[in-house]
Structure 1
Amino acid sequence: MASGLSELFKSAAQELPPIESNQFGAKFDVFGNSRLVLIGDGSHGTSEFYRARAAITKRLIEEHGFTHVAVECDWPDARSIDHYVRQHSRRSKDVPIRVFDHFPRWMWRNTEVQEFIDWLRDHNARLPKHERTSFNGLDLYSMSASVRAVLEYLERVDPSLASDARKRYSCLVPWLKDPSSYGLASAHSRTAACEPGAVAMLTQLLAERLKLASHPDNGEAFLDAEMNARVVRDAERYYRAMYEAASSSWNVRDAHMFAVLSRLLKLSPGSKAVVWAHNSHLGDARASSNGQDRGELNLGQLCREAFPGQVSVIGCGTHAGTVAAAHEWDEPMRVMDVVPSRPDSYERALHDTGLPSFLVDMRRLETPPMLQRFIGVIYRPATERYSHYIETILSEQYDAFVWFDRTTAVHAFETAQPKEAISKGETYPFGV
């Protein structure tokens, strides 16, 4: 089966020029008419995936009018970057920004991402403010920062409502330094003690929208507060769901990502978004064993269902090389060797084409169920089969797949995760 599949991939392969070539992004013009282009990565620590994703995104912005970049990171961190790339009037370029300053730092604190951020700022500088491309976070791990952001906004525009917010969020305060402990405590007590306050705060914020919008300090500040209130509500659900059924927390998280993305699109009629996230979030869950056997849904599936015919999903994969990852959560980043792909996997079939780098339009193919590799921020080579492979149908998960046979680790600002102050070698806008 693998031999025949390799020939199928080889016959459909479009060999790619170097990522730095102006012609690289042009190979993806076929997806420019989509409203959503979702670009996945096979790991959270591979330079080629990050650079390819940036090159494709630049092309989509410049030639096809894409207006949002939405990524698998927290809203408050991305908002700081958005202030930088769109030259927000309230953000002085002389003010240091500390963003992505938590595990896994290397996922966004790397030179590959910084190069794109600097390019986006330069691109936007040539445009009127209303035409500038935004940078947005879709994830929900920022409960503490989001609570603080909602309170700071309301203190400026409505102190009375800020008082209500402090009361409603007070239940969460003891858990903000370690939200997962809240989930564990809730599971033991079989209660959702903090849910009513988080829900009520978002509901009231939305109900007061017209009044808050009239405040002279509003601008986009209300949107920021609204999104942070959504993070608090959904994060509360997420940390409780971690101790429920296996798929519960995953589904809460991806549903939140979809809700944020949908809100961004609704705010700007005719807008178009590029999404950066892991293959596991973007490759349609209905074509994976996790979706079929465990009831998982994901962002790619939800986008296809909500925007039929308007979504293109592009995955990335590799056979071997190096990757930046940790052995366990909160452990230091290491540059590890990627174990060569298994003989019974899609990756091996792609490797056996003998081509170093290519694009396959999956819409023209039918592939059988096979193993596919997923490396996140944690990599466990010793148990790779059970830790990193699941069965998928590649042609149903993605509209296209980008292959780099041998890859290298991202160039992280820190090669470890030190507790000491950030080094001077780290550059703006990520921290100084």
Structure 2
Amino acid sequence: MSRYGDEVAALAAPLEGAGDFDVLLDRVGTARVVMLGEASHGTHEFYRWRAQLTERLIEEAAFSFVAVEGDWPDCERVDRSVRLEDGAPEDPRAALATFERWPTWMWANDETADFAQWLRWHNAQTEPEVRAGVHGLDVYSLWESLREILVHLREHDPEQVPAALAAYQCFEPYTEDAQLYALATRFVEPACENEVVDLLVQLRRQAQEADGPARFAAWQNAEVVSGAERYYRAMIRGGRESWNVRDRHMDATLARLLDHYGPESKAVVWAHNTHVGDARATDMGERGEVNLGQLARERYGEDDVVLLGFGSHHGTVLAGDGWGAPMEEMVVPPARETSLEGVLHAAAPRRSLFVFPRDDRPDLLTDTLDHRAIGVVYHPERDQWSNYVPTTLGDRYDAFCWFDETTAVRAMRVPAAPVFEPETYPTGA
């Protein structure tokens, strides 16, 4: 056993059922934002236990919505279903089955469907104005969001259609190919930026003048188009800027959602550990990268934000061996012996919850240890020398869920997904 063995034993509490989250709910208290991570986008245990905790937060602590690392238009279809909107599918699985962007398994899976079905059941017993929603935070859906804006304006604000058409026609020559647009921005400045800004200003003003779900959704789709345009311009230049554009967009979207739901609203966030865990406690911070967890702590204050990380030692995972490749169930080899995962494997119960003390922290929480991060692109044969993020555990998270052995997420059967976004960061997180 490593020198951390006694510390692990003192901090770890066995995690056998949802009732074991009581100590974590006590820590959440009156916090406004709870972020729940995952060490991969393809692990059953991360999704299932994250859902169980979220169900308790919604039922017992009146959390208002779940915001996920997904696209706004896709998640809006799920949101309409779980909130029992007219014309929406009665079974949220039908909405999840329409997810087209690679990797489809990230949200079109049985674990997410089970949670969405529970949420619809829960919402059916509550008044419409307090039903919990599901929303996407991410920045990728440029063309999908443009189309959603056009549909909305043609029905509700036809006088604004020309501005939306100008933006759409500016992007049209790139045939929904993000890389083609990004390359074009190297030679044509500012490309479609002016058209996007004009559209965004108009929709933002309309949403602020006459609030409502439809206007808010149109405004958010315009924010996605604006964020995506910035993201693709930054991506082609390389470096940290595209990552920061993306996470700042997710942070701003979360803030808009909290404002939209009202001053007493509270949010659960589902995203990869690389977005949830405070970047300042990793080498990301040394590279000048920010992330959602850090930005939330800075925006709302550390007492109003709880960050929960996840990890495992070995098992199986769903991933691809390249960007856009078919999904595969891959073997996750045992983690490095000296990594956080290696330390916990040696000393922690097979399923454990760690809620970190605020003071008098042991070395396990203050030392820097390598912490594994598996993305949608994964090469198990390279695991021992890649996929690890140097981490100060007690500064990166407020709590941690540990599963010694894990299994792959159960993907739904959906059509093969087109690939429009190039891989822009090493882990594909």
Same fold judged by TM-score > 0.5?
A: yes
Amino acid at match of 1:142: S
Aligned to 1:289: 283
Query: Which secondary structure state, in structure 2, belongs to the residue aligned with residue 352 of structure 1?
Result: helix
Q: Deviations over 1:271-307 (max 9, x none)?
A: 0000000000010001110111x11000000000011
Aligned to 1:388: 387
Shift of 1:399: 0.1
Amino acid at match of 1:126: Q
- More displaced stretch, 44-53 vs 381-390: 381-390
- How many percent identity over aligned positions? 43
Mapped to 1, the partners of 2:417 and 2:139 lie a distance apart of 24
Query: Which secondary structure state, in structure 2, belongs to the residue aligned with residue 322 of structure 1?
Result: strand
Aligned to 2:19: 23
The aligned runs of 1:173-184 (5 Å cut-off) are 173-184=172-183
The aligned runs of 1:38-187 (5 Å cut-off) are 38-91=35-88, 93=90, 97=95, 98-187=97-186
Aligned to 1:430: none
Aligned to 2:204: 206
Q: Deviations over 1:345-368 (max 9, x none)?
A: 111111111520111122443321
Matched-pair contact (CA < 8 Å) for 1:357–1:404 = yes
Q: Deviations over 1:107-135 (max 9, x none)?
A: 11111110000000000000000110011
Matched-pair contact (CA < 8 Å) for 2:91–2:117 = no
Pairing 1:196–2:194 present:
yes
Shift of 1:61: 0.5
Q: 2:350 aligns with which of 347, 356, 369?
A: 356
Aligned to 1:311: 305
- More displaced stretch, 64-73 vs 86-95: 86-95
Mapped to 2, the partners of 1:210 and 1:338 lie a distance apart of 48
Matched-pair contact (CA < 8 Å) for 2:335–2:384 = no
Q: Deviations over 1:232-291 (max 9, x none)?
A: 000001111112241111100000000110001112111000000000001000111011
Q: Deviations over 1:335-394 (max 9, x none)?
A: 111011102211111111152011112244332112111001111122224531121111
Shift of 1:174: 2.0
Where do 5+ consecutive residues of structure 1 fail to align? 421-432
Query: Which secondary structure state, in structure 1, belongs to the residue aligned with residue 297 of structure 2?
Result: helix
- TM-score by length of structure 2 reads 0.91
Mapped to 1, the partners of 2:31 and 2:167 lie a distance apart of 41
- More displaced stretch, 228-237 vs 362-371: 362-371
Query: Which secondary structure state, in structure 2, belongs to the residue aligned with residue 269 of structure 1?
Result: coil
Pairing 1:329–2:327 present:
no
Matched-pair contact (CA < 8 Å) for 1:38–1:312 = yes
Mapped to 1, the partners of 2:206 and 2:410 lie a distance apart of 45
Amino acid at match of 2:307: V
Pairing 1:265–2:258 present:
yes
Matched-pair contact (CA < 8 Å) for 1:372–1:389 = yes
Matched-pair contact (CA < 8 Å) for 1:175–1:181 = yes
Q: Deviations over 1:128-175 (max 9, x none)?
A: 001100111000111111000011111111222112210133211222
Aligned to 1:406: 405
Aligned to 1:227: 220
Pairing 1:241–2:234 present:
yes
Shift of 1:28: 2.6
Mapped to 1, the partners of 2:182 and 2:333 lie a distance apart of 35
Where do 5+ consecutive residues of structure 2 fail to align? 419-429
Amino acid at match of 2:337: P
Amino acid at match of 1:71: V
Amino acid at match of 1:231: V
Mapped to 2, the partners of 1:151 and 1:250 lie a distance apart of 28
Aligned to 2:424: none
Q: Deviations over 1:287-332 (max 9, x none)?
A: 110111x110000000000111100000000000000111111001
Matched-pair contact (CA < 8 Å) for 1:339–1:381 = yes
Amino acid at match of 1:244: R
- More displaced stretch, 358-367 vs 62-71: 358-367
- More displaced stretch, 47-56 vs 30-39: 30-39
Count of matched residue pairs: 408
Q: Deviations over 1:202-232 (max 9, x none)?
A: 0121223466x3xxxx841001100000000
Shift of 1:419: 6.9
Mapped to 2, the partners of 1:254 and 1:295 lie a distance apart of 13
Pairing 1:35–2:32 present:
yes
Shift of 1:190: 5.7
Query: Which secondary structure state, in structure 2, belongs to the residue aligned with residue 256 of structure 1?
Result: helix
Matched-pair contact (CA < 8 Å) for 1:143–1:176 = no
Matched-pair contact (CA < 8 Å) for 1:144–1:176 = no
Q: CA RMSD in A?
A: 2.0
Aligned to 1:278: 272
Shift of 1:90: 4.4
Mapped to 2, the partners of 1:139 and 1:387 lie a distance apart of 25
Matched-pair contact (CA < 8 Å) for 1:288–1:392 = yes
Shift of 1:64: 0.6
Matched-pair contact (CA < 8 Å) for 2:100–2:416 = no
CA spacing shift, 1:419–1:283, aligned 2, 3 Å: closer
Matched-pair contact (CA < 8 Å) for 1:76–1:145 = yes
